[in-house]
Amino acid sequence: MSGFSADWLALREPADHAARNGDVLADVARHVAGRDHLSIIDLGCGAGSNLRGFALSLPARRQSWTLIDYDAALLKAARERLIAWADETEELGEELLIEKSGKTLTIDFRQADLNADMERIAGWRPDLVTAAALFDLVSPAWIDRFAAALARWKLPLYTVLVYDGREQWTPPHPLDAAIHDAFLAHQRRDKGFGPSAGPDAARLMEAAFSKQNYRVASGESPWRLGVEDAALIAQLAGGVASAAAETGLPAADVEQWRAFRETAARAPGASARVGHRDLFTAP
Ligand SMILES: C[S@@+](CC[C@H](N)C(=O)[O-])C[C@H]1O[C@@H](n2cnc3c(N)ncnc32)[C@H](O)[C@@H]1O
């Protein structure tokens, strides 16, 4: 278990897809233009949202995807959700063969720990490495390792939803700043890769890949949530509050903020903006 539930990933999936930066995506599509077949590895795939948000934007008609996560329950959810998403599906042993909107995708699911196995996975030498909502969890040292491993095989990387530490909640609450500071402190804790890069991840990635003589294109991809996203805002606030509570903020303050946010999410004019960056980098 990774601590990310399949239900939470399903709730955020529409907002994740809507947030994708069009300019960065267009850069990726140009990079692989003219290819009829592509092999792609999705790191920290969760329940497969990144594939569903991205595969149909790629020009290649035939795609071979390898979805990697260390959480077996999420890999199982990915398989089930991709079967539900497909127009047609055939199960080829462990692999799925799916048809979707004129594309043919083979999808392989692999359980692996990215901290231990990242260099081995890069050695599979796909045409493209991708990931969504992953890199704020990794450490600065792991980012350097990762950039070196991709550079070794000249692999391009397209990643979306790298949390940038900027949040804005409407209506405001007097505890917003204290909760946010506590959340950022929690973000920097060890999530299995050493102390996390948290909100510095995008900046550190740009530096690490530039050092490997990669060109880097990046752009903003914030969640812009409104009252129609009340359930997501409320769950998000719950997650932020739980993280803040673990850093030692008074429980009564955290609960007051969480309860306010849950109610406010359903009121007219409610909104939340959560900052992310998307990034495409290639040799
Ligand atoms: C925020 S979720 C994003 C999931 C998915 N990419 C999406 O956009 O919905 C982060 C994912 O990274 C996975 N993950 C975290 N640490 C990992 C590790 N050391 N090895 C493999 N997967 C990991 C988690 O299991 C989870 O699925």
Neighbours of 38 (CB within 10 A): 18
51 in a structural domain: yes
| Ligand 1 atom closest to Cα of residue 45 | 6
Distance 44 CA to ligand 1 centre (A): 4
Per the structure, how many domains does the chain have?
1
What is the best residue among 12, 20, 42, 45 to mutate for testing ligand 1's pocket, by most ligand atoms within 8 Å of CB? 45
pLDDT tens track, the chain, 283 positions: 457 999 999 999 999 999 999 999 999 999 999 999 999 999 999 999 999 999 999 999 999 999 999 999 999 999 999 999 999 999 998 899 999 999 999 999 999 999 999 999 999 999 999 999 999 999 999 999 999 999 999 999 999 999 999 999 999 999 999 999 999 999 999 999 999 999 999 999 999 999 999 999 999 999 999 999 999 999 999 999 999 999 999 999 999 999 999 999 999 999 999 999 999 999 9
Distance 48 CA to ligand 1 centre (A): 10
Atom 23, ligand 1: residue with shortest CA distance: 44
pTM for the full predicted model = 0.97
Residues with CB under 6 A from ligand 1: 2, 4, 9, 16, 44-46, 49-50, 69-71, 74, 113-115, 132-134, 137, 192
Atom 13, ligand 1: residue with shortest CA distance: 44
Q: In 3D, which of 269, 217, 224 has the Cα closest to residue 26?
A: 217
Atom 14, ligand 1: residue with shortest CA distance: 44
Rounded to whole angstroms, the Cα distance separating 281 from 262 reads: 38
Atom 11, ligand 1: residue with shortest CA distance: 44
| Ligand 1 atom closest to Cα of residue 53 | 8
DSSP state of 195: B
174 in a structural domain: no
Which uninterrupted H or E stretch holds 63? strand 62-69
The two beta strands, 157-170 and 128-132, are: parallel
189 in a structural domain: no
- With vertex at residue 115, the alpha carbon angle to CA 124 and CA 244, rounded to the nearest 5 degrees, is 140
- With vertex at residue 33, the alpha carbon angle to CA 29 and CA 38, rounded to the nearest 5 degrees, is 85
Distance 269 CA to ligand 1 centre (A): 32
Say what the pLDDT of residue 2 is. 59
Question: Residue 111 sits in which domain range?
Answer: 6-164+196-224+276-282
Find the radius of gyration of the CA atoms of the chain: 19
Q: In 3D, which of 29, 88, 97, 40 has the Cα closest to residue 68?
A: 40
What CATH number should be reported for the domain holding residue 62?
A: 3.40.50.150
| Ligand 1 atom closest to Cα of residue 192 | 19
| Ligand 1 atom closest to Cα of residue 193 | 19
Question: What are the distances in angstroms from CA 161 to CA 14, 17, 26, 34?
Answer: 13, 10, 16, 27
Distance 267 CA to ligand 1 centre (A): 32
21 in a structural domain: yes
Atom 12, ligand 1: residue with shortest CA distance: 44
Q: In 3D, which of 162, 137, 212 has the Cα closest to residue 50?
A: 162
Q: In 3D, which of 55, 106, 52 has the Cα closest to residue 82?
A: 52
188 in a structural domain: no
Distance 43 CA to ligand 1 centre (A): 7
Q: Are 122 and 155 in contact (CB under 8 A)?
A: yes
DSSP state of 59: S
Rounded to whole angstroms, the Cα distance separating 151 from 125 reads: 11
**Number of residues in the chain:** 283
61 in a structural domain: yes
265 in a structural domain: no
| Ligand 1 atom closest to Cα of residue 116 | 19
128 in a structural domain: yes
Neighbours of 73 (CB within 10 A): 14
Rounded to whole angstroms, the Cα distance separating 62 from 42 reads: 16
| Ligand 1 atom closest to Cα of residue 74 | 27
